[in-house]
Amino acid sequence: MIELEGVPELIDPVMICAFEGWNDAGDAASTAVGHLDREWKGEVFASLDAEDYYDFQVNRPTVALDNGVRKITWPTTRLSVVRAESGDKTRDLVLVRGIEPSMRWRSFCNEILGYAHELGVEMVVVLGALLGDTPHTRPVPVSGVTSDPDLARSLDLEETRYEGPTGIVGILQEACTHAGVPAVSLWAAVPHYVSQPPNPKATLALLNRLEDLIGVRIPLGELTEDARAWQLGVDQLASEDSEVAEYVQSLEEARDTAELPEASGEAIAREFERYLRRRDGSPGAPGGHATETGTGGMAEGRETGTPYLRDPGSGHPRPRKPSAKDDEGGDEADDTAEDAEAGESSDAEDRPDDQG
Considering the chain, what is the average pLDDT of its residues?
79
Residue 168: pLDDT above 70?
yes
Give the bridge partners for 130, in sequence order: 189
Rounded average pLDDT over 26-33: 96
CA–CA dist 311, 258 (Å, integer)? 24
Taking the chain, what is the end-to-end CA distance rounded to the nearest angstrom? 30
Residue 55: pLDDT above 70?
yes
Peptide bond into 198 cis (omega under 30): yes
59 compared with 327, residue with greater pLDDT: 59
Write down the pLDDT at residue 160: 84
Rounded average pLDDT over 321-337: 43
Report pTM: 0.73
Place 335 in a pLDDT band, splitting at 50, 70 and 90: very low
- Mean pLDDT lowest among 21-35, 48-62, 232-246: 232-246
Place 318 in a pLDDT band, splitting at 50, 70 and 90: low
Residue 319: pLDDT above 50?
no
CB 124 within 8 A of CB 151: no
Write down the pLDDT at residue 280: 54
Rounded average pLDDT over 95-118: 96
pLDDT in tens, 110-144: 999 999 999 999 999 999 999 988 889 888 999 99
Place 328 in a pLDDT band, splitting at 50, 70 and 90: very low
Write down the pLDDT at residue 356: 58
Place 238 in a pLDDT band, splitting at 50, 70 and 90: confident
- Mean pLDDT lowest among 25-29, 34-38, 326-330: 326-330
CA–CA dist 60, 260 (Å, integer)? 47
Give the C-alpha distances (Å, rounded to integers) separating 106 from 15, 101, 113, 335, 342: 18, 10, 10, 45, 36
pLDDT in tens, 246-296: 888 888 888 877 766 555 555 555 555 555 555 555 433 333 333 333 433
Write down the pLDDT at residue 288: 35
Residue 25: pLDDT above 90?
yes
pLDDT in tens, 202-231: 999 999 999 999 989 999 999 999 999 999
CA-CA-CA-CA dihedral for 70, 74, 79, 83, to nearest 10 = 30
99 compared with 264, residue with greater pLDDT: 99
Nearest Cα residue to 98 out of 184, 20, 203, 14: 20
Write down the pLDDT at residue 57: 93
Write down the pLDDT at residue 336: 38
Nearest Cα residue to 81 out of 50, 30, 115: 115
